[in-house]
């Protein structure tokens, strides 16, 4: 275990971040890790509790106390081996996970004192990349079976890696020009540089996974052909149908879904291709207070927007953990200041958009304060308006695109996701499985990885039973 009683002497230290005024001038990552000695001290704070709740709080059940101790002892290669046993892409989660493990760390019973688990995970993953420990691990025997994975997001890629390592031939069909799904085309470079995504695509390719980029299943290859050329199919297409805002003026030029903006920005950074939607010099309104909204705010800063305002329908949460609603070790529903707002802009809660105005092109947004919770009644006399040249709708996603599920004949659940139990990942059609946001609904990278691993195990059992 870490150093006995270290948690009593050493306080939690957050990841170092580049200064907001400096980082908005480029697209490089802005979060780092502590120098080695300080990082080891953070690892030493782990108490190796009798019942490590962090391990259960982590969706992939990372063996956190084990690698905290290995980092404390400067045994990074063993820490990397241990970390990769449960997590295919710790370099992605170390950067992007909201760290539910930390919310359930026993030290977090006193709020704000959790072991800095995510930072330690990132340091191990970075060291693994620097030392060349992220190598292909191709299988030693071939099963003779073949699996199609539709979608190269974290769910599809984790699934493909597990299946390939079990000896199956795996083809990943991806409509985008490169792998990573939302981690590549949704999340900005300043949160994860795309070399970090590519190192995993290369690793999978080195293991023998075949990627077919620029191929949309259902359009470029029909589902009957897909089924006849593979023994099993995994749907990992994400939840890409965005929630719309049906208010007067929605049709005006300049009102866009956030993903159209973010895909354009990510492609611009990757290849210099000028994007159709730009925030440069504009009054930008971002509707939606989640991760997607924050990423739109941050891109707008880097583009030199005239002003950036983020609005959120629901009320402002409490500043500290509400013990009656989300007690430890549950994920606390409390106020968090997104990184993007540290860089500038404002955020308002309990706001309902009533309409947009403009002459062909949006010029202003009109809203009213609401009651802060369902059914969001409008407060009379609390109407307001702001200039708006660009409005980005970042209000979440409703589920996967229906056409592919229909073409495959897969039953949907009540939320329109592919219907499959989290234990079996099998859909209503024999030989077709589903994982990630396409099955679970809009979620997190770490859940997508868990789902990809779970679906791979289910496919492996299915293929073994058919042998």
The residue ranges that bind ligand FAD (CB under 6 A) are: 96-97, 150-156, 173-176, 181-183, 186-187, 216-218, 236-238, 262, 291-292, 295, 404, 436-438, 443-446, 448
> Which residue's CB is nearer to ligand FAD, number 103 or number 106?
103
Residues that contact ligand SF4, how many (by CB under 6 A) = 14
Give the strand order in the sheet containing 210-213. 210-213, 169-174, 146-150, 232-235, 432-434
- Residue 153 CB, nearest approach to ligand SF4 (Å): 16
Residues numbered 73 to 92 that lie near ligand SF4 (CB under 6 A) are 87
Distance between CA atoms of residues 207 and 201, nearest Å:
10
Specify the residue, 379 or 403, whose C-beta has the smaller distance to ligand FAD: 403
Minimum CB distance to ligand SF4, residue 446 (Å)? 4
Name which of ligand FAD, ligand SF4, none residue 101 binds, using a CB cut-off of 5 to 8 Å depending on partner kind: ligand SF4
Long-range contacts (CB closer than 8 Å, 24 or more residues apart) made by 331-338: 331/57, 331/100, 331/103, 332/103, 338/293, 338/294, 338/297
Report the DSSP pairing between strands 362-370 and 351-358: antiparallel
- The listed partner (ligand SF4, ligand FAD, none) that binds 148, CB under 5 to 8 Å by sort, is none
Can you state the percent helix, strand and coil of the chain, rounding each to 5? 35, 20, 45
Concatenated DSSP letters for 372-415? SSTT-PEEEEEEEEEE-SEEEE---EEES-HHHHHHHT--B-TT
Torsion region of 180: left, alpha or beta (phi above 0 gives left; psi -120 to 50 gives alpha): left
Rounded least distance, CB 445 to ligand SF4, Å: 8
Shortest Cβ 120–ligand SF4 spacing (Å): 9
Give the footprint of ligand SF4 on residues 98-127 (CB under 6 A): 99-101, 117-118, 121
Q: Which among ligand SF4, ligand FAD, none contacts residue 458 (Cβ within 5 to 8 A by kind)?
A: none
* Residue span binding ligand SF4 (CB under 6 A) among the ranges 59-67, 191-199, 263-271, 354-362: 59-67
Interatomic CA distance for residues 168 and 313, integer angstroms: 47
Q: What is the CA radius of gyration of the chain?
A: 23
Q: Which residue from 288, 313, 318 is spatially nearest to 376, judged by alpha carbons?
A: 313
Nearer to ligand FAD, 201 or 404 (CB): 404
Give least dist CB 266 to ligand SF4, A. Answer: 23
100, interface contact from ligand SF4, ligand FAD, none, CB < 5-8 Å by kind = ligand SF4
In whole angstroms, the minimum distance from the beta carbon of 250 to ligand FAD comes to 20
Residue 99 contact partner, candidates ligand SF4, ligand FAD, none, CB within 5 to 8 A by sort of partner: ligand SF4
**Cβ closest to ligand SF4, residue 121 vs residue 189:** 121
Tokens read off for 386: 């702001």
Site string for ligand SF4, 360-399 (x = CB under 6 A): ----------------------------------------
Chain center to CA of 123: 19
Closest distance of CB 294 from ligand SF4, Å: 18
Which DSSP string do the residues of 250-285 spell out, in sequence order? Answer: TTSBTEEEHHHHHHHHHHHHHH-PPPS---TTSEEE
Q: Give whichever of 64 and 395 is closer to ligand SF4, judged by the CB atom.
A: 64
User: Residue 313 binds what, of ligand FAD, ligand SF4, none (CB under 5 to 8 Å, by partner type)?
Assistant: none
Q: How far apart are CA 329 and CA 111, in angstroms?
A: 11
Please report, as residue ranges, which positions from 423 to 462 form the binding site for ligand SF4 (by CB under 6 A). Answer: 446
* Shortest spacing between CB 358 and ligand FAD, in angstroms: 26
Please state the φ and ψ torsions of residue 17, each to the nearest 5 degrees.
-125, 145
Which 3 state secondary structure label does DSSP give 430?
Answer: coil
Chain positions contacting ligand SF4, by CB under 6 A: 58, 60, 62, 64, 87, 93, 97, 99-101, 117-118, 121, 446
């Amino acid at each position: 275990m870490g150093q006995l009683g270290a948690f009593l002497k050493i306080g939690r230290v957050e990841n170092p971040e580049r200064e907001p005024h400096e980082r908005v001038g480029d697209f490089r990552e802005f979060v780092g890790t502590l120098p080695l000695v300080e990082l080891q001290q953070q690892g030493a704070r782990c108490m190796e509790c009798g019942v490590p709740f962090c391990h259960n709080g982590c969706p992939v059940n990372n063996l956190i106390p084990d690698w905290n101790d290995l980092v404390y002892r400067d045994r990074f290669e063993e820490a990397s081996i241990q970390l990769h046993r449960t997590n295919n892409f710790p370099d992605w989660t170390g950067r992007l996970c909201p760290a539910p493990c930390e919310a359930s760390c026993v030290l977090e019973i006193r709020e704000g004192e959790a072991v800095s688990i995510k930072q330690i995970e990132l340091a191990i993953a970075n060291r693994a990349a620097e030392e060349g420990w992220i190598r292909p691990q191709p299988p030693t025997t071939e099963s003779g079976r073949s699996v199609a994975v539709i979608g190269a997001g974290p769910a599809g890629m984790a699934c493909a890696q597990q299946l390939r390592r079990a000896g199956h031939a795996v083809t990943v069909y991806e409509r985008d020009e490169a792998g990573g799904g939302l981690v590549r085309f949704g999340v900005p470079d300043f949160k994860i540089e795309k070399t970090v995504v590519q190192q995993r695509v290369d690793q999978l390719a080195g293991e023998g996974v075949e990627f077919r980029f620029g191929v949309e299943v259902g359009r470029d290859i029909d589902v009957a052909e897909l089924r006849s050329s593979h023994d099993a199919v995994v749907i990992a297409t994400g939840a890409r149908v965005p929630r719309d805002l049906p208010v007067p003026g929605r049709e005006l030029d300049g009102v866009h879904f956030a993903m159209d903006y973010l895909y354009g920005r990510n492609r611009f950074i990757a290849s210099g291709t000028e994007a159709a939607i730009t925030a440069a010099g504009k009054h930008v309104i971002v509707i939606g207070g989640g991760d997607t909204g924050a990423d739109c705010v941050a891109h707008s800063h880097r583009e030199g927007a005239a002003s950036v305002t983020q609005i959120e329908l629901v009320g402002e949460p409490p500043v500290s953990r509400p013990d009656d609603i989300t007690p430890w070790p549950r994920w606390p529903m409390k106020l968090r200041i997104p990184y993007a707002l540290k860089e500038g802009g404002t955020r308002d809660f309990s706001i309902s958009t009533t309409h947009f105005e403009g002459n062909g092109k949006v010029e202003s947004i009109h809203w009213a304060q609401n009651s802060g919770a369902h059914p969001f009644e409008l407060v009379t006399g609390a109407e307001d308006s702001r200039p708006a040249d660009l409005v980005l709708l970042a209000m979440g996603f409703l589920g996967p695109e229906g056409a592919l599920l229909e073409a495959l004949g897969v039953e949907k659940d009540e939320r329109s996701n592919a219907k499959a139990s989290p234990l079996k990942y099998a859909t209503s059609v024999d030989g077709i499985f589903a994982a990630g946001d396409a099955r679970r609904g809009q979620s997190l990278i770490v859940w997508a990885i868990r789902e990809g691993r779970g679906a791979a195990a289910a496919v492996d059992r299915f293929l073994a039973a058919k042998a």
